[in-house]
């Protein structure tokens, strides 16, 4: 078991803080404790259904939040109530969130701390924990690129440090000198697993050395120690960006969640840590120093309790959520009206690979807040040379080589969007996206639906077989993402569309998975307009008209279909290029397929394929009567 109890006696240093500041810190730490105590009562009364308690750990969340500027982003976890109250979130909305009411921050979709608020500069967590650290990298990078002189703080627990995202996030932050403070709340347990069964290192902060970054271990229950430490580090790295790893030693006095209980924790640990309570110790010190008196304590508690009761009344009086399909569907994507920019008259013949490159270049010229990230994309120009010369034209701050760490870079794309920037992230091969699958389907795809934060990210995916590259460089994995609400999946079949669709994808504030079939890169040419133009997303193209049957396909499938039809000149076939492989692009073609006697689909894979998103009877598509 982690030796979290062997901490020195708790001593408080006021340093430069005035009496008023010390009192403000007391109110800040008393508030989450009073809320917690009320929640436990409501839980026993059956008025709330679950609770993740942070009793015993409040000093960390409160100290960190109070040390930061109000517009600096924090990425908290379950037990960081002091972050939310410290950012002055209205308690009515906070309680409505936990009760699953519409006025909550996620419109009743989650009854937990899985939400964020840009108004309060808080990024919502997901249960996988590690991605929070990666998203923080993206926000910090956006701050640096825009010269904002701001820090970002991301929380994790001792258990979360075993995740791969922990390693990737710290490594990238160190390599790029990002102003991120990574907070480890070491409370001795990952749910019920003690620290000696989680890692071998004597301390977690010792890992900082391995990344070439600074680290410090502090007493997480000492509010002033946390406050002073974060204040000083933040002040330094706002001007001279670099990451820090802070290990905060603490202990939670309740179970992982209330339902889990505490039987797995030795009784003596509770006895040791009870006397180290962060609220009581700070309160007693203030009383001893004469900064507050008992009347102040009583008045503070009453004021907080009154605010709690008023907030609870608002939440409990609010009606239960009435499901509304239209509302749910409207919140899948950030609002955006696709604008069609007509091409100019000048054209030149381009291969598909050249059209993609030209589209990226035009996008970089139009959007000065656009950054390209990926392995070997700078001086080397990418493995397919699509970004060749980009670093020289736009600078390495905008064309960024990354370590081999798909997960953190994809999550950082979301962070960049939080920071008001766009990103194009290149997967060297589409197969490698599996290393960042969680970042795509659980963060990029769901962030707008969960808490209104769009992900202005395009993920470029060289894919497809036919080039003898085996199972790890040839997969056609677009259907994985076509089944995920919140993503837009684009797959051009020709150079003209490749450039126009890519530029439209960059303009779109939603996450786009942009697939490029490698076998078409240098084998297919066509006339492509010079300059900037777009092909609107969601509009398929009829490649060939016909009334006998219809072929619905995309990408390489368009060419397979045209080649096949050459063998049957008497068949009048309608060949439709979807361009975008999502349900919202398939719907207009349902009626077409249903009225034809013999519809066909050229899919990436039939189990399950893109055709499933059309809401048609798939058996009819694959085996027409």
Structurally, at CATH architecture level, domain 541-622 sits in 3-Layer(aba) Sandwich (3.40)
Position 494 confidence tier, pLDDT thresholds 50, 70, 90:
very high
3-class DSSP assignment, residue 502: helix
350: which strand partners? 526
Mean pLDDT of 573-592: 70
Query: How do residues 512-538 score in pLDDT, each as one tens digit?
Result: 999 999 999 999 999 999 999 999 998
CATH entry 3.40.50.970 includes domain 347-529: yes
Q: H helices within 378-463, ranges in order?
A: 390-394, 406-418, 437-438, 447-451
Give the separation between CA 517 and CA 555, rounded to whole angstroms: 7
All residues at 6 or more sequence positions from 219 whose CB lies less than 8 Å from its CB, including other chains: 7, 8, 10, 225, 226, 248, 249
Q: Of these residues, 78, 228, 473, 517, which one is catalytic? A: 473
Report which DSSP code applies to 442.
I
Q: Taking all residues of the chain, what is their mean pLDDT, rounded to a whole number? A: 90
Chain-centre distance of CA 492, in angstroms?
Answer: 27
Whether the Cβ atoms of residue 512 and residue 505 lie closer than 8 Å to each other: yes
Position 473 confidence tier, pLDDT thresholds 50, 70, 90:
confident
Query: How do residues 340-392 score in pLDDT, each as one tens digit?
Result: 899 999 999 999 999 999 999 999 999 999 999 999 999 999 999 999 999 99
Question: Looking at 13-27, 286-300, 552-566, which range is the least confident one?
Answer: 552-566
Q: What is the pTM of this model?
A: 0.93
Dmax over CA atoms of the chain, in Å, equals 97
Q: What is the torsional sign of CA 597, 598, 604, 609? A: positive
Q: Residue 616: pLDDT above 60?
A: no
pLDDT at res. 4: 54
Strands 214-219 and 488-490, by their bridges, are: unpaired
Whether the Cβ atoms of residue 57 and residue 77 lie closer than 8 Å to each other: no
DSSP-assigned states of every residue in 190-217 = ETTEEGGGT--SS-STTHHHHTT-EEEE
121 is catalytic: no
Cβ density class 92-110: b for 16+ within 10 Å, e for less: bbbbbbbbbbbbbbbbbbb
Give the separation between CA 17 and CA 551, rounded to whole angstroms: 73
Q: Residue 567: pLDDT above 70?
A: yes
Nearest Cα to 141, choosing from 111, 103, 179, 113? 179
3-class DSSP assignment, residue 152: strand
Please classify residue 173 by burial: count the beta carbons closer than 10 Å to its beta carbon, then call 0-12 exposed, 13-18 middle and 19+ buried. Answer: buried
pLDDT at res. 589: 53
Residue 611 or 222, more confident: 222
Give the separation between CA 164 and CA 438, rounded to whole angstroms: 12
Whether the Cβ atoms of residue 516 and residue 605 lie closer than 8 Å to each other: no
CATH entry 2.40.340.10 includes domain 19-316: no
Percent of the chain with pLDDT over 70: 92
Q: Residue 561: pLDDT above 60?
A: yes
All residues at 6 or more sequence positions from 496 whose CB lies less than 8 Å from its CB, including other chains: 355, 526, 527, 528, 529, 535
Query: How do residues 170-194 score in pLDDT, each as one tens digit?
Result: 999 999 999 999 999 998 888 788 8
Q: Residue 619: pLDDT above 70?
A: no
Q: Residue 604: pLDDT above 60?
A: no
pLDDT at res. 624: 32
Query: How do residues 64-101 score in pLDDT, each as one tens digit?
Result: 999 999 999 999 998 899 999 999 999 999 999 999 99
Give the separation between CA 372 and CA 401, rounded to whole angstroms: 9
270 vs 192, 214, 256, 556, CA distance in Å?
A: 15, 32, 14, 63
Q: How big, in percent rounded to 5, are the helix, strand and coil portions of the chain?
A: 45, 15, 40
pLDDT at res. 264: 82
Nearest Cα to 212, choosing from 253, 169, 174? 174
Give the separation between CA 490 and CA 555, rounded to whole angstroms: 9
Mean pLDDT of 34-59: 91
Percent of the chain with pLDDT over 90: 71
Query: How do residues 395-423 score in pLDDT, each as one tens digit?
Result: 999 999 999 999 999 999 999 999 999 99
Q: Residue 202: pLDDT above 70?
A: yes
Whether the Cβ atoms of residue 621 and residue 594 lie closer than 8 Å to each other: no
553: which strand partners? 577
Q: Residue 602: pLDDT above 60?
A: no
Decide whether 19-316 matches 541-622 in CATH topology: yes
Give the separation between CA 204 and CA 215, rounded to whole angstroms: 9
Q: Residue 135: pLDDT above 60?
A: yes
All residues at 6 or more sequence positions from 175 whose CB lies less than 8 Å from its CB, including other chains: 403
Nearest Cα to 201, choosing from 242, 166, 158, 236? 158
pLDDT at res. 595: 53
Mean pLDDT of 114-123: 96
Domain residue limits, the chain = 19-316, 347-529, 541-622
Whether the Cβ atoms of residue 401 and residue 375 lie closer than 8 Å to each other: yes
79 vs 229, 255, 262, CA distance in Å?
A: 20, 11, 16
């Amino acid at each position: 078991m982690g030796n979290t109890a062997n901490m020195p006696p708790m001593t408080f240093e006021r340093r430069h803080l005035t009496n008023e500041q010390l009192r403000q810190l007391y109110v800040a730490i008393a508030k989450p404790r009073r809320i917690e105590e009320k929640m436990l009562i409501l839980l026993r009364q059956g008025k709330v259904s679950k609770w993740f308690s942070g009793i015993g750990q409040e000093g960390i969340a409160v100290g960190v939040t109070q040390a930061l500027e109000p517009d600096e982003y924090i990425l908290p976890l379950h037990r960081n109530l002091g972050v939310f109250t410290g950012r002055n979130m209205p308690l009515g909305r906070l309680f409505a969130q936990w009760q699953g009411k519409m006025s909550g921050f996620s419109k009743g979709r989650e009854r937990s701390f899985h939400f964020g608020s840009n108004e309060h500069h808080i990024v919502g967590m997901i249960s996988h924990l590690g991605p929070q650290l990666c998203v923080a990298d993206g926000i910090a990078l956006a701050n640096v690129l825009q010269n904002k002189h701001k820090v970002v703080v991301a929380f994790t627990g001792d258990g979360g440090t075993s995740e791969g995202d922990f390693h990737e996030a710290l490594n990238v932050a160190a390599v790029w000198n990002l102003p991120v403070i990574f907070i480890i709340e070491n409370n001795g347990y990952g749910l019920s697993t003690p620290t000696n069964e989680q890692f071998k290192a004597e301390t977690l902060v010792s890992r900082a050395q391995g990344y070439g970054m600074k680290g410090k271990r502090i007493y997480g229950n000492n509010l002033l120690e946390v406050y002073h430490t974060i204040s000083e580090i933040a002040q330094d790295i706002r001007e001279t960006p670099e990451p820090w790893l802070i290990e905060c030693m603490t202990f939670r006095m309740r179970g992982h969640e209330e339902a889990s209980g505490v039987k797995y924790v030795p009784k003596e640990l509770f006895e040791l840590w009870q006397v180290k309570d962060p609220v009581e110790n700070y309160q007693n010190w203030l009383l001893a120093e004469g900064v507050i008196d008992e009347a102040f304590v009583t008045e503070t508690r009453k004021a907080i309790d009154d605010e709690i009761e008023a907030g609870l009344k608002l939440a409990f009086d609010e009606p239960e959520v009435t499901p509304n399909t239209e509302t749910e569907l409207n919140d899948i994507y950030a609002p955006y009206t696709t604008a069609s920019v007509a091409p100019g008259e000048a054209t030149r013949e381009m291969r598909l690979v050249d059209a993609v490159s030209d589209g990226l270049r035009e996008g970089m010229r139009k959007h000065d807040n656009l950054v390209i990230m990926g392995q070997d994309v700078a001086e080397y120009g990418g493995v397919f040379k699509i970004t060749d010369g980009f670093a020289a034209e736009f600078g390495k701050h905008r064309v960024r080589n990354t370590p081999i760490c798909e997960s953190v870079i994809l999550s950082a794309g979301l962070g960049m969007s939080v920071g008001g920037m766009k990103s194009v992230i290149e997967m060297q091969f589409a197969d490698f996206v599996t290393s960042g699958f969680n970042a795509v389907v659980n963060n990029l795809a769901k962030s707008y639906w969960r808490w209104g934060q769009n992900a202005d990210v395009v993920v470029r995916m060289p894919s497809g077989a036919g080039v003898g590259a085996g199972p790890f460089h040839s997969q056609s994995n677009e259907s994985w993402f076509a089944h995920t609400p919140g993503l837009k999946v684009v797959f051009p079949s020709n150079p003209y569309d490749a450039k126009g669709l890519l530029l439209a994808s960059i303009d779109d504030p939603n996450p786009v998975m942009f697939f490029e079939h490698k076998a078409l890169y240098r084998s297919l040419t066509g006339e492509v307009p010079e300059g900037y133009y777009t092909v609107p997303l969601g509009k398929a193209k009829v490649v060939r008209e016909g009334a006998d049957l219809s072929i619905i396909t995309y990408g390489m499938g368009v060419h397979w279909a045209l080649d096949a039809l050459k063998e049957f000149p008497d068949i009048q076939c309608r060949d439709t290029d979807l361009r975008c492989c999502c349900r919202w692009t398939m719907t207009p073609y349902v009626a077409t397929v249903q009225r034809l006697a013999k519809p066909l689909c050229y899919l990436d894979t039939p189990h399950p394929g893109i055709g499933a998103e059309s809401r048609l009877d798939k058996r009819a598509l694959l085996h027409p009567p």
